[in-house]
Structure 1
């Protein structure tokens, strides 16, 4: 496993989780797009925990958080965050060289370029940089979905799809 990939993924987690307010600062100034088709192997925002278990099987890791009450099921290459037994966040990352590769609805995956993301998702995005990591994001204001792509110097290293406004402490 490349150490830079692991470090970049950890940084991405902290940035996206810790920057809810900063992300929402872009909400008013960014036009929305349709993200209603976003799913990972048929699992989307608001799918049930049973749907995830039936589709993906037993998780590699389960983490439960008390405040705010939430649960995380981790699989090779993807993690699902739950509140009240419903998926509120999907996180795609590559944990090792042989990780399963998951794609977004527009067929963007870890390893793709910023240009590919913009070509598939369009020009209605916001950008931010924190701790040297570039992030490009889109909002679906009608369906209350946000997708963010985290980049190292040249390629996608993580993708987060989450319900807008969901507060997490993971």
Structure 2
């Protein structure tokens, strides 16, 4: 997930609101509760970001191998990322990753003394998972749109280059704004 902080804040707020307003949980300090949900999601996104950055750095260090073997940049990054994720017990398959994050939130709800839960923990996990799934679906659509726009340029811009990354970020943020997500 490549979600900007403002969008993560909206997601966390939406999950917290649903849990609180439907009286699924009760928190002694609602502000802290919202921050904790935000931090759990942010931490998961940061883990993925670090994984991606490390994989890209490792591939960049060995670009001569890619060129000599005619391996696509994205393919190489994904292979390295898969290996790093396996070592760190981070699921890359989106559905599994969302489930992993939903489990973290469930675990937090079960162990946080300032939060009382009034619903079956697995039911809460499923609800959180569904909310996260909606957001990731939007993120995938935006990513596909951004990549398509970059490919449509008359001049070929190679993925992984600084120019490609800057262009991707700019178009991605523009797509978020158009959809009212920023």
Do both proteins adopt the same fold according to a TM-score greater than 0.5, normalized to the shorter chain? no
Larger radius of gyration: 2
Please give the TM-score of this superposition, normalised by the length of structure 1: 0.27
Q: TM-score, normalized by length of structure 2?
A: 0.25
Structure ranking higher in helix proportion: 2
Is the strand fraction higher in 1 or 2? Answer: 1
